[in-house]
């Protein structure tokens, strides 16, 4: 089947996640072969996802981990005077 | 990795049996995830960090109620989401609680932006700091329901089912919101790329 661009855009997210069925996938690939616009949209969307998953894009606050474990340590210390975690009272 | 899950189940059993310090090890792989989940909801770094600490403490206190039938990460994400929502309610007041439902009827234009130069932009362009900043800003600007799905799925790389379970929505809704979020981001970043990164090799040689 010949897909138009709009149809391809509607499925672009599922195409990236590889959750479109085999037939549709083939049609999309056929379309991408000759459509520069859709290929560029696909590439740009994919690149945004690569960038999103890159740890340097969304960084944790400096010292976050240290503060978290200190807080946890205090909590564990406190709970030592209580029965083991989860034990019904 | 299968061994990791076994380790995790083993860790949990030992913590519940009294080796409480092991909770540090259990939580370590998920610290980042907990923070990002909070940030996606409260959109403020300080609030997100406080919330992340609260969520981790809460997970520690309620570990016994974790049932092995869900993944630990999903269970923990749910706690983080609840913590985030609680903070949001507190900050905004109960009046705005219904905001979430409203947002899904965002009948927007979910059409990607065309660009013809992208394929000539070398991969190094992704290394640019400005692009990361633009992406962070664009994610922060997404309507809440789209941002939350996007963060769990594409930032934390949880799958569709896990994302659905953690947010308490169905997988079909996750897919629709994810699609919209991705398209909105694509649209947001394309103009940015066009103005700051013309597809000319020389530009990158000169920049930075």
Q: Which residues of A touch B111 (CB under 8 A)?
A: 6, 9
Q: Over the stretch B44-82, which tens digit does the pLDDT of each residue have?
A: 999 999 999 999 999 999 999 998 878 999 999 999 999
Q: Is A76 left (phi over 0), alpha (psi -120 to 50) or beta?
A: alpha
Contact assignment for A48 to B61 by CB distance below 8 Å: no
What tens digit of pLDDT does each residue of A57-81 get? 999 999 999 999 999 999 999 988 7
Percent of chain A scoring above 90 in pLDDT: 70
Six token digits for residue B109: 């234009």
Within a 13 Å sphere around the CA of B74, how many CA atoms are in the beta-carbon half?
17
Nearest to B35 by CA among A64, A77, A1: A64
Distance from CA of B101 to the nearest CA of A (A): 23
Q: What is the pLDDT of residues A20-51, one digit of tens each?
A: 999 999 999 999 999 988 998 998 899 899 99
| Close Cβ partners of A80 (under 8 Å, ≥ 6 residues apart) | B20
Check if the beta carbon of residue B33 is closer than 8 Å to that of residue B156: yes
Q: CA–CA distance from A62 to each of A51, A59, B15, B130, B149 (Å)?
A: 21, 9, 28, 20, 26
Query: Are the CB atoms for B178 and B154 separated by under 8 Å?
Result: yes
Partners of residue B159 in chain A, C-beta under 8 Å: none
CA atoms within 13 A on the CB side of B80: 32
CB contact under 8 A, A40 and B185: no
pLDDT at B112: 85
Q: Which H or E run includes B198?
A: none
Query: Which chain A residues are within 8 Å of B60, Cβ to Cβ?
Result: 72, 75-76, 79, 85
């Amino acid at each position: 089947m010949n897909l138009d661009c709009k149809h391809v855009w509607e499925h672009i997210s599922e195409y990236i996640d590889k959750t479109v069925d085999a037939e549709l996938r083939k049609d999309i690939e056929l379309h991408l072969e000759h459509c520069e616009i859709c290929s560029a949209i696909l590439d740009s969307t994919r690149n945004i996802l690569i960038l999103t998953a890159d740890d340097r894009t969304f960084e944790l606050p400096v010292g976050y981990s240290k503060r978290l474990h200190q807080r946890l340590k205090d909590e564990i210390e406190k709970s030592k005077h209580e029965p083991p975690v989860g034990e019904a009272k | 990795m299968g061994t990791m899950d076994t380790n995790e189940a083993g860790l949990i059993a030992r913590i519940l049996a009294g080796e409480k310090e092991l909770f540090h090890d259990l939580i370590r792989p998920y610290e980042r995830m907990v923070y990002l989940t909070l940030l996606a909801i409260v959109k403020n770094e300080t609030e997100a960090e406080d919330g992340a600490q609260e969520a981790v403490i809460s997970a520690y206190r309620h570990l016994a109620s974790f049932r092995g039938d869900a993944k630990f990460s999903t269970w923990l994400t749910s706690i983080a989401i609840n913590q985030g929502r609680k903070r949001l309610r507190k900050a905004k007041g109960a009046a705005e609680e219904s905001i979430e439902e409203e947002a899904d009827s965002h009948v927007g234009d979910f059409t990607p932006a065309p660009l013809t130069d992208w394929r000539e932009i070398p991969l190094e362009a992704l290394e640019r700091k400005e692009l990361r900043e633009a992406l962070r800003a664009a994610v922060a600007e997404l309507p809440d329901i789209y941002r939350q799905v996007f963060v769990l799925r594409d930032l934390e790389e949880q799958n569709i089912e896990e994302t659905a379970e953690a947010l308490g929505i169905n997988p079909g809704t996750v897919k629709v919101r994810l699609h919209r979020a991705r398209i909105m981001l694509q649209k947001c970043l394309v103009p940015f790329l066009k103005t700051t990164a013309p597809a000319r090799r020389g530009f990158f040689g000169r920049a930075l």
